[in-house]
Amino acid sequence: MIKVGIVGGTGYTGVELLRLLAQHPNVELRAVTSRSESGMPVSQMYPNLRGRVDLPFTEPSLDNLGECDVVFFATPNGVAMKQVPELLDKGIKVIDLAADYRLKSPAQWQQWYGMAHASEHLLAEAVYGLPEVNREAIKTARLVANPGCYPTAVQLGFLPLLKAGLIDTQTLVADAKSGVSGAGRKAEVHTLLCEAGDSFKAYGVAGHRHLPEIKQGLAHISGQDVGLTFVPHLLPMIRGIHATLYARLTSDVADLQALYEQSYANEAFVDVLPAGSHPETRTVRGANMCRMAVHRPQGGDTVVILSVIDNLVKGAAGQAVQNMNIMCGLPETTGLNHIALLP
């Protein structure tokens, strides 16, 4: 059994990790920490876990985490970068679901997250945890930076075209839509039901924190810098991301559908739908899955890719468990075979 700890278990990625790990056949939950709720039973805050998670929240100390094999950070940005070094020193593997180790450049981190990096010596070592791109490196990683939700949907969508070198990399467009759970469980006015419900808007058009992460990832995949316009939007629902991606073909291509199907033929968690499909976010609700479809409207030279994930699963907790499985030598799908809840 893998002994697992979660730092910052009160947020939505935390409770989703708990849902997945409590049903994982090879995991023993040892500690769930929360500075603010220390002492409260986890299942009091999240009654869906009654009878399944019997731990209380505890202080995020080495006393509580020191005997874990793997520790997940489900904390706000800027927390993990301070606590990770001592865990690694103890030989504990770390998977950070926040952004702390995603950007390779400490200057970019400071620019987009507004604080100096507290452990920038680890940035080079940290492996970006997108298994479909970095599986080999993840196998041996001590520290995995779990990708953001938008970056997962966008990178998986563009990947086959970029690898094949078929598109203009300077004029990419990602029009992405997210459920409100992506904003977390903080008490804020703009995510109240009466503000975010029954309405729709874009946000962060001038620049969203996931932009540098996506550009870094796409550049890594394609081997060159990319130009990307990224517009996130807020959907009046809880879970789900839909990325609508636009790229211009520079070479002719016989069969986009085949290209996509072949690219992901061996991936358990990427599902290329039949030609002409329109994936719905509900088909991945609660499941560690990215479903996508590729279109070429009216046979023109613009390709449209539709890519959906559950932002809390393949976009966060599920992908983190997928990374844990890889790091621990388990079959990648262990504990991740949930079927999406539909309707």
Catalytic residues, by residue number, are 149
Q: Position 221: which residue type?
A: I
Q: Does 188 bind its own copies (CB under 8 A)?
A: yes
CA distance linking residue 221 with residue 165, whole number of Å: 10
What are the C-alpha distances in Å from 170 to residues 55, 208, 250, 297? 50, 18, 11, 20
Would you give the binding string for its own copies spanning residues 146-185, x where CB under 8 A is met? -------------------------x-x-x-x--xx---x
CA distance linking residue 310 with residue 176, whole number of Å: 13
- 114: phi > 0 → left, psi -120 to 50 → alpha, else beta; which? left
- 3 state SS of 228: strand
Contacts of residue 173, defined as CB under 8 A and 6 or more positions apart, other chains included, come to 228, 229, 231, 245, 246, 247
| Stretch 197-226 residues interacting with its own copies (CB under 8 A) | 197-203, 205-207
| Stretch 23-42 residues interacting with its own copies (CB under 8 A) | 23
Compute the Cα dihedral for 320, 326, 329, 335 and give only its sign.
positive
DSSP 201-222: EE--TT--THHHHHHHHHHHHH
CB of 133 to its own copies, least distance (A): 22
CB of 51 to its own copies, least distance (A): 7
Binding residue (CB under 8 A) for its own copies from 25, 36, 39, 47 = 47
CA distance linking residue 146 with residue 282, whole number of Å: 23
Closest CB to its own copies among residues 224, 229: 229
Size of the residue set binding its own copies (CB under 8 A): 83
Closest CB to its own copies among residues 188, 255: 188
CA distance linking residue 226 with residue 249, whole number of Å: 14
CB of 268 to its own copies, least distance (A): 9
| Stretch 247-306 residues interacting with its own copies (CB under 8 A) | 248, 271, 273, 276-287, 291, 295, 297-298, 300, 302, 304, 306
CB of 276 to its own copies, least distance (A): 7
Closest CB to its own copies among residues 114, 236: 236
Compute the Cα dihedral for 207, 211, 212, 213 and give only its sign.
positive
Closest CB to its own copies among residues 53, 126: 53
Binding residue (CB under 8 A) for its own copies from 2, 6, 15, 320 = 15
What are the C-alpha distances in Å from 204 to residues 176, 208, 211, 234, 288? 11, 5, 10, 10, 27
| Stretch 90-129 residues interacting with its own copies (CB under 8 A) | none
Closest CB to its own copies among residues 48, 61: 48
Q: What is the CA radius of gyration of the chain?
A: 19
CB of 1 to its own copies, least distance (A): 18
**Selected range binding its own copies among 57-65, 72-80, 148-156, 194-202, rule: CB under 8 A:** 194-202
Q: Does 227 bind its own copies (CB under 8 A)?
A: yes
Closest CB to its own copies among residues 139, 296: 296
Binding residue (CB under 8 A) for its own copies from 34, 75, 152, 244 = 244
